[in-house]
Amino acid sequence: MKEKYLKNLEFYKIVEQAAQNCVCPEAADRLRAVQPCADPEEMRHALAMTDAMTVRYLRLGGPRLSGVEDVMAAVQRAEKGGVLSMAELLLVGRTLRNFEALNSWYHAEEAKVQTDGGVLDDLFYSITENAGLSRSIFDSILSETEMADAASDALYDIRRKIRSAESGIRDRLEHMIRSPGTQKYLQDAVVSMRSGRFVVPVKAEFRGEVGGVIHDVSSSGATLFVEPSAVVELNARILQLRSQEQEEIQRILSVFSGAVAAMQPLFGVSYDAMLRVDLLLAKARLAADQAAAMPRVTDGYGFSLLHARHPLLDKKKAVPVDISLGRDYDTMIITGPNTGGKTVSLKTAGLLLAMASCGFLIPASERSEVCRFRDILVDIGDEQSIEQSLSTFSGHITNIVEILKEAGPDTLVLLDELGAGTDPAEGASLAVSVIETLRERGSRIMATTHYGELKVFALETEGVQNAGCEFDLETLRPTYRLSVGVPGRSNAFVIGEKLGLPDQVIDRAKRHLSAEDKRFETVLGQLEDLKLEIKEDKAEIERLRYAAENQLDSAKEERDKLIRQGEEELAAARRRAKELEQKVQDTAYGLMDEMKALQKKENLSAAQKLQRARQIARRDALGVTAGLGSEPEVKNYVPLTSVKVGQVVVMADIGRSATVKNLPDKNGMVEVLCGAIKTKVPLSSLMAAAEPKNKKAPSPKYRSSGANANVTRTPAMEINLIGLTAEEAVMEAERFIDSAVLSGMTQVYLIHGKGAGILRKALHAMLKTNKSVESYRLGNYGEGEDGVSIVCLR
């Protein structure tokens, strides 16, 4: 794109605004020299990088960078063997700190969730830090002229000796100037420095009274600055140490320069990346100020700018416009009153397309679409501005001649007041001819005009669209809104009448209009009314669509919330089941160990062993049951002082209901039945149970030959007791039934065999009194017959 056309569009004002946001002068210079992208793909990438940087800038703010300049010149000199000055090394150090700041900013915790596809990754990953070198530089160099004592051990030692020697000289000279025999020869009792040596001010008339070397004379000649003989040798020693100090400083600078040289070429790559980041951040800051967005880039030569604002106008006052070209029509004729916004619309389209071509986000809706034109050819005139048109006919023609030479299918042509400044009839004919020529060459065209002939041309010509800038007849002010599809009206008669022009003058003017002009104005009025109705309907449709989208988004959010909640509850349940599974397993292993220990006790009878085994099993099963319960432990409660047999109470330590089986013994222990588990607990751990809302009469235990006939039998539902003693079989059966109840089974199978019926009788006796048993029966044919007892559980 040619510079003069971009200048007419005021593109360089935008560039300068962005350049002011750069931290590094070199980045600002690069931005001022920005060039449009070569193709749509490059344009997409440039816009994506600016958009990603803008999103990150809005989220995190900008990184803390130091302004650096001409760093590469110093680095390249170091690479050639040169020794850098302290000022140059500090510049390198600040640059290295910039590298660190950029990497820290890019990898900040708040920015880890990326939606840009990592488009900036390559840029930031090319920045190589050297924190050790930057820290050493700033630890060693205090300013552009001062090296720190700690820069090296040798430098520290030299400076320590210098301070010691200077202190010795000062002590001698202070003693001398305070001596009564010397004071009369001195102009002042002070010690000063001349040519790097300590001297005292001696009166000129006593120059022979104080032995030493004269280093300076006052301007009046009355005072001689003499280095006393007593300190000449010490002063010489200090000068020697000063020389060693400078040599050591040069050595340190040489070491640092070598370290800087060793960083090449990585430093050069990192420095280039830093400038590119600075440039992108400048674009991002401008985008944030303009409330700009990233448009979509198309491959053809058409664009659609929605809610577009001119970036140089106040964004709070600028009226957004919609401008489309290149799809349904390739030419737009904009008409309307003066200062109504025609030129602003023209410049807005050209400027925003130029900005997008150079990687700038544009102040328009993100639904906008842009394309890459090889050039944007502009005829707005040397003195044309947004507020006022001052171009002449000759100036227009000169520009049009050049435009016709350069126009092609990949160019956008913007023509302001086409054909103006000459005879209206000839100007209108010339304007139509220019547009037809440009269309033959494939250009996209936007032109503003006052000529009615161009309005008719747009109505009659396929691919040419009328557009008008609206005007408020009540306030007599332009609205600056662009209405596509309807040509603008001059409204001269209405405006004249509103401003007080006599009615007879208006009527006479109307009579001078031809019948064709009158019909044309009437049709324009009807078209404008129709356009407004369509616009209102479209706005209502857009409002309804927006409301529907919001409702859909809310529904999706609620659905996702419920899904997440369900997943969390399922995960919690799985964790709880896993914990319970582990608890049951641990309890089972402990129970087995206690059972084995019990069986080894020879001093207990079989009945005592059985009773003890039952107590162990019930205790451990109760512990597992407590883990299953949903009721929490009751921490604050009023304990019962007495209970009755059959009374329903609550076991406060586990929060579960139980039934009292026996009154408290002498130790205050009460036997209760909790579910299928019978155990003894302290009376003080029981509390009154709440009265149930609906009491149901208990169902009597009964036997049924067909109970639960439809239950599918599985191995987990049966236990083989054959080969055990009656006591062992009863104990195993009770444990199996308790476990089945906890597992939620409704039916189990006790395999005891036929034999003499000893096991069957012992088991049936136990089943009659077991509270967990609803009913039981012997098996039918195919179920094991008399060798199996089928138990239905509560």
Residues in the annotated binding site: 336-343
Give me the sign of the Cα torsion angle 234, 240, 242, 248.
negative
Buried b (16+ CB within 10 A) or exposed e, 585-610: eebeeebeebbeeeeeeeeeeeeebb
Q: Residue 499: CB partners within 8 Å, gap ≥ 6?
A: 476
Structure tokens at 234: 């010490």
What are the Cα distances from residue 89, in Å, to 79, 98, 359, 684, 686?
13, 14, 35, 82, 82
- Name the H helices within 461-514: 492-498, 503-512
- 69, 24 Cβ separation under 8 angstroms: yes
What are the Cα distances from residue 488, in Å, to 389, 469, 521?
18, 6, 10
Rounded distance between C-alpha atoms, residue 330 and residue 370, angstroms: 14
Structure tokens at 650: 């609550």
DSSP letters, 109-153, are GGG-S--STTTTHHHHHTPPP-HHHHHHHHHHEEETTEE-GGG-H
CB neighbours (10 Å) of residue 706? 8
Q: Residue 285: CB partners within 8 Å, gap ≥ 6?
A: 18, 21, 57, 62
- 95, 27 Cβ separation under 8 angstroms: no
E strand or H helix that includes residue 92: helix 86-106
Known binding-site positions for ATP: 336-343
Pairing of strands 686-688, 677-682: unpaired
SS (H, E, C) 144-187: CCEECHHHCHHHHHHHHHHHHHHHHHHHHHHHHHCCHHHHCCEC
Crossing angle of helices 229-262 and 86-106, rounded to 10°: 40
Bridge partners, 146 (sequence order) = 143
Residue 28's closest CA among 42, 17, 43, 13? 17
Rounded distance between C-alpha atoms, residue 618 and residue 14, angstroms: 85
Rounded distance between C-alpha atoms, residue 506 and residue 121, angstroms: 69
Q: Where are the beta strands (DSSP E) in 241-315?
A: 296-297, 303-308
- 316, 374 Cβ separation under 8 angstroms: no
- 449, 426 Cβ separation under 8 angstroms: no
Enumerate long-range contacts of 102-110, CB under 8 Å, 24 or more apart. Answer: 102/63, 102/65, 102/127, 102/274, 102/277, 103/127, 103/129, 104/63, 105/60, 105/62, 105/63, 106/56, 108/60, 110/59, 110/60
